[in-house]
Each structure stands twice: as C-alpha cells, then as structure tokens.
Amino acid sequence: MKLHAIPFFVLTSLMVLSSSCQEKKELQEVQIPDAIIFKKEKKSAFPNPKTIKTNSGPFQMEGLKYQYEDFKDFLEPENIYLHYAKHHLAYANNLNRTLIGTPLEKRSIEIVLGSTDVEHPLLKSYSGGYYNHNLYWKSICKETDSKPSPDLVAMINRDFGSLDGFKEKFKQLANQQIGSGWVWLMFSTDKLILISTPNEDNPLMPMYKVPGIPILAIDLWEHAYYPTHNNNRKEYIDRFVEHINWNEMSRLVAPPVEVVPTTETTATAAPKKPVARPKPVTTPKPDTTTSPN
C-alpha cells in the first residue's frame, strides 16, 4: 500500500482542534460579580444645621440631631430651615445683644428666664424664644416608632389614664390655643402637668409659678407649620404627636444614677439640697432697638 504525505496545514489544524478539545475539558465555571452601580448623592439645597451660628454672645445654637430633609411626612425641608436658621437664630442673636453688659450676660438661660418680668418685654420674648425652640427641636425625631420608657409610661398612666389619653389631651389643649403660643408637658416629683402659654412665654418665668421642668414643647406659631400645612394647624399637631421624641423625654424624667459613697467620702459628704427654681436677678432695662424677625 502506498502511503501519501499529509499536508502540513492539515496536521496543524488537527493539533489545534485537539488542543481546543482538551482545554474545554479543563474549563471551570467562574462567578462574575454584579456590576457596581455608583449612585450620585443628592446634595441638600440648604446648609448643614451645624453651620448655623450666632453672631456672638454666650448663647449659641445647639444644632439639630437630624437634617432638614428628614421629615417628609411632617415638615418640608424649607419649613424647618426657615424655622431654625432664621426665626430661632434671630431670637438667639437678639438675646445675646440684649444681655451685653448686664449681670445676666454670663448666667444660665434658666436664670435669665427666672429674671424676666413685664417691665422687660423684649428680654422675656428673646429668652423665651431661645429656650422654647431649643426644647422644641429636641421634642421631635424623624422616627415614628419611638417609645416611652417604662417609668415614663407609668407616670403617664397615673396622670392621664393611658398613653392614648395623654395624646388626646395634648392635642386638645394645642388645638384650643388662640393665636401664637406653646403647649408644654411639665415634669415634677408629684405629677406630669400640661400647660399652655401665649407668645414666647415659658413656664419657668416667674409669672407662671409652675413646679417642675418642661420636657415637651410644641410651637404653635404659624412660622412653625404654615409653609407645610398652611392654615391646617390640626394636621400639624397630629403629625407632631406622631414624631414625639419619647427617648429624649424618657431621659429627662429618668432618676439620677446614685453613686455609692466610699468610707472616706461618707463622713465628709454634704447633705443633698432639694432642687429649687432659679432666683431672679435684677437686670437693667434691655436694649429696645432690636426685634425678632
């Protein structure tokens, strides 16, 4: 039998095909990672609340624990921005300006409030507006599932019958407020008290003589809700109650942690004094050339 020469290109093709078949047997499945999607963060149209500062003076803006955009179902971002960065800031700046050179310049805001009277209406308005708004911002949170502590629940059940009972009485008092003002929940050793005040008045002012400390406050001035709810104050009050910061309220009513004294400190420890309301400080007539925005 006569052998015929096999062309070179045929041998090459056979070798490549054989190699390819062998490689197919050795292939393994490789997991391809999902594509990474880069989301562009949406920038806020408003400055960070931390950047809002007073011009000068002892009383500063305390900041917010949330952003202006965190309350979509409660307050629009512009509403919160104007309220905090314009109205609240104006009260802080005017308060600082009013206290320059007075005995109250380096005293606490509670002392200032306890020193107000009808003869100094601007001091009363500025100090109230500053303190009241500080508590207002702490009274709300972006969450709607905040819960009161067991101790606070017990107090509410004792004084209002139930948590729902408290909410209804709070809403009722807020809806009954005529004109601008505030509704407060006061905490004392005896009971929880609901009280309303007009304008920027505050329960710590001498004319009210209400025992305890404020632990909850709702602002019923139109600038607090009008940009979002227009003249529907009831809707604003309902949304406020849904966003009450029960964690902060629970902290304010929590009993202080008792420190067990050692042998060395027991003999020298001074007896505890009951907490008293701040005593008024005599103040000169404040500057009347400025007014809040």
Measured distance CA(1)–CA(171) in Å, rounded: 112
The kind and range of the H/E element at 277 are none
Measured distance CA(237)–CA(78) in Å, rounded: 18
Task: Read off the pTM.
Answer: 0.76
Q: Kindly tell me if the per-residue pLDDT of 16 is higher than 50.
A: no
Q: What is the pLDDT of residues 111-125, one digit of tens each?
A: 999 999 989 999 999
Q: Using an 8 Å Cβ cutoff, are 76 and 37 in contact?
A: no
Please give the pLDDT value at position 72: 82
Which residue type, as a one-letter code, is found at position 173?
L
Q: What is the pLDDT of residues 167-213, one digit of tens each?
A: 999 999 999 999 999 999 999 878 999 999 999 999 999 999 888 99
Question: Which of 6-15, 34-43, 145-154, 262-271 reaches the highest mean pLDDT?
Answer: 145-154
The secondary structure of residue 238, as a DSSP letter, is H
Q: Using an 8 Å Cβ cutoff, are 218 and 183 in contact?
A: yes
Q: What is the pLDDT of residues 200-248, one digit of tens each?
A: 999 999 999 888 999 999 999 999 999 999 999 999 999 999 999 999 9
Q: Kindly tell me if the per-residue pLDDT of 17 is higher than 50.
A: no
